Amino acid sequence: MPLWLDLLVRVVAVMVGFLVLPLLVGQAEHKVMAHMQGRVGPMYAGAFHGWAQLVADGVKFVQKEDVHPHGADRTVFRLAPIVALFPYLIIILTIPLGPNGLVAQRLDIGLFLVLAILGIGVVAVLMSAWASANKYSLLGGLRGAAQLLGYELPLVLAAASVAMAAGTLSLPGIVEVWRPWWLIWQAPAALVFFIAGLAEIRRPPFDMPIADSELVFGYMTEYTGLRFAFFLLAEYVGIIVIAGLTTVLFLGGWHGPFADQLGWLWTLLKMGVLSFVIIWFRVTYPRLREDQLQRLCWLILVPVSLAQLVLTVAVKSLL
Amino acid sequence: MTDDGERGLPGKGLINGLAVTLKTLTKKTITQQYPDVEPELPPRSRGVIALLEENCTVCMLCARECPDWCIYIDSHKEEVVVPGAARARQRNVLDRFDIDFSLCMYCGICIEVCPFDALHWTPEFEYAETDVLSLLHDKGRLGEWMRTVPPPPAHDVLGEPSKEEATAARKAAGPGAATAAKTARPAPVRPEPRPESDR
């Protein structure tokens, strides 16, 4: 296969995944959340159980008027949704789907790049918060910044644990050396990574920066139309990214029966299950208060991830 | 999470919460697809009030008892010549019987006070209008609703006999016979109302 064709296939595949998977998760969230609350969810759009609800939402968002608040910093205001969305696209490039190089871009420092880019989210939050010229946006943005900076630490420490265990920073490399008993060995790190990841994408119960009952809609208050849709899309791509990273780092990615042929299916299946859990958490748990949020991070997640690091080193040196 | 008192295992509440939502997920939803599927309403639903014009004697009780004054009645008297009678009789003829459903609060007092069962509840409720004045239903429209009045639920076979029946029985038995209060059977267990008479 010539290089340009190879590149084209990879880029198109990533774009398709980037645009389709979040819609699947969004639709699943509509339906799962509705049924968990005894409702049926969207039923009309697309004529069969509302399968086209998100398409209809997208069409509606495109038609909305493009409003800037008076006194907003226009350039930054316009740039913020892109900054929120774009890092996730790059992260999807590095998530391996199956064995034998079924990954858009095989990087030796994949984990390092992913963690670095995940941190850009805080910039997008601060940009949208400050540029909106709105006190609710600013409050939400500052809460978001505190939360993202705090939870970045357990996230990185948990990821460092698995990197130490595998002895590599390459995401496909980590999956290759993964063994089923790591599920127990790395269980605390997996929990910490998943919870901190939830906080990183500001999903309930960690949606204090958005907190629609107190801050209108946090840093997204002033956004309408397509820009707002970008923020929403970023949230759902975030679910894919966190589910994908947890799968790859802690759940063994493509490992499973017939991994050589069906590896991609195993990865997608595990991501789907984790996405369901993320939706499940949203339906079940009330929002954490700001002090509870910070306490959970600094008093529970950080010590647990540090202890996990010690455990990883101890087991690794015994082997 | 950290400021709990004695609550058993830590995190038990979190697990229970997850179990509740998962259980609800597997249950049938309670949503009614209303415009697509008609709701099943019990026969005593207070949808709209129907008028049986033949029963109305223009006694005006309903109009006077209505807390909202939303019933408007006009009538005139008509002479009915009865052959063989000394004088011609007079009869009230209903000219107008309107209920303004923009004022009505569906208390049902008019139906309660009507001595001749001229007014009835029906479960029909789809008579919304774009113009508030159209909510004034005249006697023709109120009469049309009569078609939708459901048959009254059957009497409870184990219940007390009606007052009329009891009085008739007492009169037939002669003075000094047992009264309804004396003959009323003690019912230790009240029978469950049947589901179809409920609906």
| pLDDT tens column, A275-289 | 999 999 999 988 888
Of B1, B14, B24, the CB nearest to A38: B24
Query: Which residues are paired to B73 by β-bridges?
Result: B97
Does the pTM of the predicted model rise above 0.80? no
CB of A39 within 8 Å of a chain B CB? The answer is yes
Which tens digits make up the pLDDT trace of A150-184? Answer: 898 999 999 999 888 888 888 888 888 888 888 88
Q: How much is the pLDDT for B43?
A: 75
Each as own residue / partner, the long-range contacts of residues B149-155 (CB below 8 Å, 24 or more positions apart, any chain) are B149/B50, B149/B120, B149/B121, B149/B122, B150/B43, B150/B122, B150/B123, B151/B43, B152/B43, B153/B43, B153/B44, B153/B197, B154/B197
Residue B81 maps to a domain: yes
User: Is the Cβ–Cβ distance between B121 and B47 less than 8 Å?
Assistant: yes
User: Distance between CA B137 and CA B99 in Å, rounded?
Assistant: 5
Q: Is residue B7 part of a domain?
A: no
- Average of per-residue pLDDT values in chain B: 82
Q: Which residues of A touch B18 (CB under 8 A)?
A: 280, 284
- pLDDT < 50 stretches in chain A: none
Let me know if residue B125 belongs to a domain.
Answer: yes
Report how many domains make up chain B: 1
Show the tokens assigned to A268. 């997608």
A92 close to A237: Cβ distance less than 8 angstroms: yes
- B20 in A contact zone (CB under 8 Å): yes
Q: Which two tokens stand for residue A183?
A: 């599920």
Structural domain contains residue B192: no
Binding-site positions of B read 56, 59, 62, 66, 104, 107, 110, 114
Interface test with B, best of A29, A32, A33, A36 (most B CBs within 10 A): A36
Q: Which pLDDT belongs to residue B198?
A: 46
Instruction: State the smallest CA–CA distance between residue A149 and chain B in angstroms.
Output: 22
Chain B contact for A286 (CB, 8 A cutoff): no
In sign, the C-alpha dihedral spanning A283, A289, A294, A300 is negative
The type of residue at A51 is W
Alpha-carbon distance values, B155 to A152, A198, A285, B168, B186 (Å): 71, 61, 50, 18, 18
With an 8 Å Cβ cutoff, are A39 and B29 in contact?
yes
Whether residue B2 is predicted with pLDDT greater than 60 in this model: the reply is: no
Q: How confident is the model at residue B187 (pLDDT cuts 50, 70, 90)?
A: low
A64 vs A56: CA distance, rounded Å: 13
pLDDT value, residue A246: 92
Structural domain includes residue B77:
yes
Question: Cα separation of B199 and B190, whole Å?
Answer: 19
For residue B180, is pLDDT > 70?
Answer: no
CA distance B125 to chain A (A): 24
B105: pLDDT confidence band, cut at 50, 70 and 90?
A: very high
Q: Indicate whether B3 pLDDT > 60.
A: no
B42 close to B199: Cβ distance less than 8 angstroms: yes
Give the pLDDT of residue B109.
92
Separation in Å, CA B61 to CA B47, B52, B68, B135: 21, 15, 14, 22
Residue B23 lies in a domain: no
Please tell me the distance in Å from A157's CA to the nearest CA on chain B: 23
**Contacts of residue A285 in chain B, CB cutoff 8 Å?**
14, 17
Which residues in chain B (54-113) have CB-CB distances under 8 A to chain A? none
* pLDDT tier at B191, thresholds 50, 70, 90: low
- Most A CBs within 10 A among B20, B31, B36, hence the mutation to make, goes to B31
What's the number of CA atoms in the CB half-sphere (13 Å) around residue B192? 3
* pLDDT value of position A70: 85
**Is B39 among the domain residues?**
no
Contacts of A295 in chain B (CB under 8 A): 1-2
Asked if A38 lies within 8 A of B33 by C-beta distance, the reply is: no
Q: Is the ipTM of this complex over 0.90?
A: no
Cβ contact A301:A196 at 8 Å: yes
Which residues constitute the domain of residue B74? 48-148
Terminal-residue alpha carbon distance, chain B: 47
pLDDT at B199: 43
**How far B126 CA lies from chain A's nearest CA (Å)?**
22
In this structure, chain B runs to a length of 199
Question: Looking at the complex, does the CB of residue B130 fall below 8 Å from at least one CB of chain A?
Answer: no
Region class of A285: left (phi > 0), else alpha (psi between -120 and 50), else beta: beta
pLDDT of residue B182: 52
Residue B168: DSSP 8-state: H
Answer yes or no: is pLDDT of B39 > 90. Answer: no
Instruction: Using CB atoms, pick whichever of B14, B18, B29 lies closest to residue A35.
Output: B29
Most confident of A268-277, B27-36, B38-47: A268-277
Cβ neighbours, 10 Å, residue B106 = 11
Could you tell me the CATH number of the domain that includes residue B93? 3.30.70.3270
Q: Which residues pair with A217 in a beta bridge?
A: none
Give A126-143 pLDDT, tens digit per residue: 898 888 888 888 988 888
In a domain, B53, yes or no: yes
Chain segment A264-274, per-residue pLDDT in tens: 888 889 999 99
What does the pLDDT read at residue A192? 92
Report the C-alpha gap between B108 and B48 in whole angstroms. Answer: 10
Residues in A closer than 8 angstroms to B2, CB to CB, are 295, 299
Contact with chain A for residue B27, Cβ under 8 A = yes
pLDDT at residue B183, rounded to an integer: 54
